[in-house]
């Protein structure tokens, strides 16, 4: 069936659907809700939690009244009762609702309950006399664009399910479905859109995630195999790395040495290096990368070093230039916003082989950059680079060796999914003398005391970061935004100190200027959005204050915290939050108690794993439709088992596997096209 044959889809709606990436009935059926509202359970008012969305069954005990607050704003409210409690019900700008409410009649209301002590409120709930239609179900919510409503989506998908369900085929072969007790595809598709209960939803989602991850893993593996068949570089066996290590001002940790030796072995072997170095923030990964670059240089090759942001690239450029100066390496910085002539001269230097090390953001992989003899590619904070990008940069040389560095430790099976089949080195210790970062979680009332504390630290020669979640003022959210916070703190507390401001909307040169001033200690305080999240290294900074910390996830908070504690001085991390929900409070507590990124990510997995899957956002990775690599840990493990079984028994060659093979090929193509930046 064509999409246009679905009841209700005319020319206009068809266009909108296309713009949502939906071109066929198959696409429509694979357009999954991004969240659900559980409207299937009726709760007693007294059993509800603050901010909980649920259905209550009430009678109205007062006549609704409409108040006209100001122009275009009126509020209709009434008191309702459900045998356990009264509740104040109100609607904005729906005065007509007065006429729908009758005395002595039972109504079902769905909406967000607010509970202050034992007073309950619900505003703008859905009102219904019956527990059916939009109520009494787990209600799917789709991401839609203007011109298509959620209701439209529900109707279209209903229609498609009714008429096209037979066209859906199992991609995971039947024998696997049976062995591993996986829901069959038809049920899975039907129930992901219209689950009757949580168990059914979960079973459907499990099947779809498994399918997607199995396809992804097999596609990654096949890609790795094909990459390995090509030519490799065998770097010289020499003492260059030893000399480099001896030249350092400090001793490497055991973890760093092991990582360096792993790299060295890979580089001089016939194998092509494809290695992930993971180590907590501050564990000293940059030095490890530098050792690899030295080896590449001494064998006569160029190296590329990619970082996710301009700020970070600039910083790496500076430290690499310094560390390499006595070894004679020529380092250049390639950014997206160089002037034309600057860019041309850099590009020329890269092509002629004048530059040995090319540092930059993704600008490095733009098509017009030509290397003389690229032998090594390093990407820092890899989780921001896609597989496609790695492949693309690999294509630039004679199959250069690849080194990936990440501060987000990931379990093996996850690494498998992210990186195909990289070898992994783990640095699991910090340089000597590092102190645990003291972390505190406080409310907004502490601001003044914090300001005094910061001032004291600055007087002792230190610097501070202040981070807040937003750039611009938001009308709907009660959150700090960077300009306002900057102005306020400046006026109220720090008028005599030099304070800088940094956010993502600033132009690159401006950002660098601000960063440079902070690095050089010209500014003592940096008020910033999360653009400083990854990698920024200012040793003198020993305080980081994070506003609205409840808005951030654990790993992001940990990354931010990693901006301090980068020397042997005592550092502090202060989380200012409005934490409401149990989960938010728990997150703050974990941050206070846990300093190790590895432990933290375990807890993160556990917390999210046990969390309610209904209502969670999908992964931000455009390649994946439903699986979330960070949250679906268990399923990814299970998929890995299945994948291994399929591989070991060479099942892909059997007839049962035609659909799976088709999907693997499609996924490979997507992988190669894929460009992920955020």
- Cβ of residue 323: shortest distance to ligand ADP, in angstroms? 9
* Contact partner, 282, from Mg ion, ligand ADP, none, Cβ < 5-8 Å per class: ligand ADP
Considering CB distances under 5 to 8 angstroms, the limit depending on partner class, which of ligand ADP, Mg ion, none binds residue 279? Answer: ligand ADP
Please, which of residues 519-548 interact with Mg ion by CB under 5 A?
535
DSSP bridge pairs for 427: 279
Question: Which of the listed partners (ligand ADP, Mg ion, none) does 469 bind, with a CB threshold of 5 to 8 Å by partner kind?
Answer: none
Q: Cβ of residue 238: shortest distance to ligand ADP, in angstroms?
A: 23
User: Nearest distance from residue 385's CB to ligand ADP, in Å?
Assistant: 16
Write out the residues near ligand ADP by the rule CB under 6 A.
Answer: 250-253, 256, 279, 281-287, 407, 431, 535, 537, 539, 566
Q: Cα–Cα distance between 29 and 19 in angstroms, integer?
A: 16
d(CA 393, CA 304): 9
Q: Which two tokens stand for residue 51?
A: 């901010």
Residue with the CB atom nearest ligand ADP in the bound state: 284
Residue 386 partner contact from Mg ion, ligand ADP, none using kind-dependent CB cut-offs of 5 to 8 Å: none
Partner in contact with 566, chosen from Mg ion, ligand ADP, none, beta carbon below 5 to 8 Å by kind = ligand ADP
**With respect to ligand ADP, which residue has the nearer C-beta, 64 or 431?**
431
> What are the CB-based long-range contacts (under 8 Å, 24+) for 40-43?
40/136, 40/137, 40/138, 40/196, 40/197, 42/108, 42/131
Among ligand ADP, Mg ion, none, what binds residue 537 when CB lies within 5 to 8 Å by partner kind?
A: ligand ADP
Length reported for the chain:
678
DSSP 402-462: EEEEESS---HHHHHHHHSS-EEEEE-SPPTTPPPPEEEEE-GGGHHHHHHHHHHHHHTT-
Backbone angles phi, psi at 140, to 5 degrees: -80, 145
* Interacting partner of 253 out of Mg ion, ligand ADP, none (Cβ under 5 to 8 A depending on kind): ligand ADP
Q: State the binding partner of 275 from Mg ion, ligand ADP, none, CB within 5 to 8 A by kind.
A: none
Q: How far is the CB of 414 from Mg ion (least distance, A)?
A: 20
Q: Is 469 in the site for Mg ion (CB under 5 A)?
A: no
Give the whole-angstrom CA distance, residue 353 versus residue 590: 49
Residue closer to ligand ADP, measured from CB, 51 or 251 = 251
| 287 or 365: CB nearest ligand ADP | 287
- The C-alpha atoms of residue 407 and residue 278 are separated, in whole angstroms, by 6
Q: Which is nearer to ligand ADP, 253 or 382 (CB)?
A: 253
Cβ at position 376, least distance to Mg ion in Å: 17
Name the binder of 281 from ligand ADP, Mg ion, none, CB < 5-8 A by kind. Answer: ligand ADP
CA distances from 111 to 96, 104, 161, 267, 561 (A): 19, 21, 28, 60, 37
How far apart (Å, rounded) are the C-alpha atoms in residues 302 and 330?
A: 10
Which of ligand ADP, Mg ion, none does residue 597 bind (CB under 5 to 8 Å by kind)?
Answer: none
Nearer to Mg ion, 110 or 419 (CB): 419
Crossing angle for the helix pair 658-673 and 198-228, to the nearest 10 degrees:
70
Q: Which 3 state secondary structure label does DSSP give 354?
A: coil
Q: Residue 208 or 288: which CB sits closer to Mg ion?
A: 288
Q: Using CB under 5 A, count the residues that bind Mg ion.
A: 1
Write out the two tokens for 257: 């040495």
- Is the CB of residue 435 less than 8 Å from the CB of residue 565? yes
Q: How far is the CB of 378 from ligand ADP (least distance, A)?
A: 12
- Between 282 and 386, name the residue whose CB sits nearer to ligand ADP: 282
Question: Closest distance between ligand ADP and the C-beta of residue 214, in Å?
Answer: 33
For ligand ADP, the closer of residues 380 and 512 by Cβ is: 380
The answer to whether the beta carbons of residues 182 and 176 sit under 8 Å apart is: yes
Q: Is 336 helix (H, G, I), strand (E, B) or coil?
A: coil
Is 286 or 382 the residue whose CB approaches ligand ADP more closely? 286
Interacting residues of 95 by C-beta distance below 8 A, sequence separation 6+: 66, 74, 76
Q: What minimum distance in Å lies between the beta carbon of 274 and Mg ion? A: 20
Between residues 312 and 627, which has the closer beta carbon with respect to Mg ion? 312
Distance, CA of 143 to CA of 362 (rounded, Å): 30
Closest by CA to 537, choosing from 407, 426, 672, 674, is 407
Q: Can you give the binding site for Mg ion, defined by CB under 5 A?
A: 535
């Amino acid at each position: 069936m064509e999409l246009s044959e679905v009841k209700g889809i005319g020319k206009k709606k068809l266009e909108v659907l296309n713009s949502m990436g939906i071109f066929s009935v198959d696409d429509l059926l694979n357009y999954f809700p991004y969240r659900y509202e559980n409207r299937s359970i009726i709760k007693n008012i007294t059993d509800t939690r603050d901010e909980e969305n649920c259905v209550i069954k009430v009678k109205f005990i007062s006549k609704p009244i409409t108040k006209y607050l100001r122009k275009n704003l009126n509020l209709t409210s009434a008191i309702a009762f459900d045998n356990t409690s009264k509740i104040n019900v109100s609607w904005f700008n729906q005065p007509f609702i007065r006429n729908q409410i009758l005395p002595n009649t039972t109504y079902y209301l769905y909406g967000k309950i607010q509970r202050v002590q034992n007073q309950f409120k619900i505003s703008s709930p859905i009102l219904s006399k019956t527990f059916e239609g939009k109520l009494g179900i787990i209600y799917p919510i789709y991401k839609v664009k203007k011109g298509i409503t959620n209701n439209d989506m529900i109707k279209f998908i209903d229609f498609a399910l009714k008429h096209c369900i037979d066209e859906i085929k199992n991609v995971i072969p039947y024998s696997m479905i049976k062995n591993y007790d996986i829901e069959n595809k038809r049920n899975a598709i039907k129930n992901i859109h219209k689950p009757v209960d949580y168990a059914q939803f979960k079973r459907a989602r499990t099947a779809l995630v498994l399918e997607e991850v199995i396809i992804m893993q097999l596609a990654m593996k096949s890609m790795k195999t094909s990459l390995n068949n090509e030519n490799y570089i065998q770097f010289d066996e020499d003492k260059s790395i030893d000399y480099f290590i001896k030249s350092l001002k400090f001793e490497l940790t055991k973890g760093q040495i092991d990582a360096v030796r792993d790299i060295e072995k890979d580089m001089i072997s016939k194998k092509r290096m494809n290695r992930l170095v993971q180590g907590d923030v501050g564990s000293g990964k940059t030095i490890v990368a530098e050792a690899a670059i030295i080896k590449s240089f001494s064998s006569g090759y160029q190296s590329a070093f990619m970082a996710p942001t301009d700020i970070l690239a600039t910083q790496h450029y500076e430290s690499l230039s310094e560390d390499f100066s006595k070894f004679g390496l020529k380092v250049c910085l390639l950014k997206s916003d160089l002037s034309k002539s600057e860019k041309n001269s850099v590009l020329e230097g890269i092509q002629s082989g004048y530059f040995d090390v090319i540092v930059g953001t993704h600008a490095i992989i733009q098509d017009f950059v030509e290397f003389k003899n690229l032998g090594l590619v390093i990407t820092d904070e890899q989780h921001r680079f896609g597989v496609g990008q790695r492949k693309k940069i690999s294509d630039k040389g004679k199959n250069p060796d690849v080194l990936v560095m990440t501060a987000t430790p990931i379990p093996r099976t996850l690494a498998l999914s992210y990186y195909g089949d990289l070898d992994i080195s783990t640095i699991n210790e910090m340089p000597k003398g590092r102190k645990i970062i003291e972390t505190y979680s406080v409310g907004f009332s502490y601001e003044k005391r914090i300001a005094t504390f910061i001032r004291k630290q600055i007087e002792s020669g230190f610097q501070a970061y202040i981070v807040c979640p937003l750039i611009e003022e938001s009308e709907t959210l009660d959150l700090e935004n960077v300009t306002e916070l900057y102005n306020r703190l400046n006026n109220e507390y720090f008028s005599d100190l030099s304070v800088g401001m940094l956010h993502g909307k600033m132009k690159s040169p401006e950002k660098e200027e601000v960063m440079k001033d902070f690095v050089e200690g010209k500014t003592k305080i940096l008020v910033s959005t999360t653009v400083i999240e990854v990698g920024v290294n200012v040793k003198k900074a020993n305080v980081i204050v994070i506003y609205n910390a409840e808005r951030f996830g654990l790993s992001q908070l940990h990354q931010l915290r990693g901006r301090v504690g980068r020397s042997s001085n005592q550092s502090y991390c202060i989380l200012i939050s409005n934490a409401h929900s149990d989960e938010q409070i728990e997150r703050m507590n974990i941050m206070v108690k846990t300093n190790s990124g590895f432990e933290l990510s375990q807890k993160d997995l556990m917390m999210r794993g046990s969390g309610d899957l209904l209502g969670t956002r999908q992964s931000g990775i455009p390649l994946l439709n439903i699986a979330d690599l960070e949250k679906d840990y268990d399923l990814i493990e299970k998929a890995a088992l299945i994948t291994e079984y399929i591989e070991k028994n060479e099942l892909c060659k059997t007839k049962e596997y035609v659909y799976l093979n088709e999907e693997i090929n499609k996924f490979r193509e997507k992988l190669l096209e894929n460009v992920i930046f955020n």
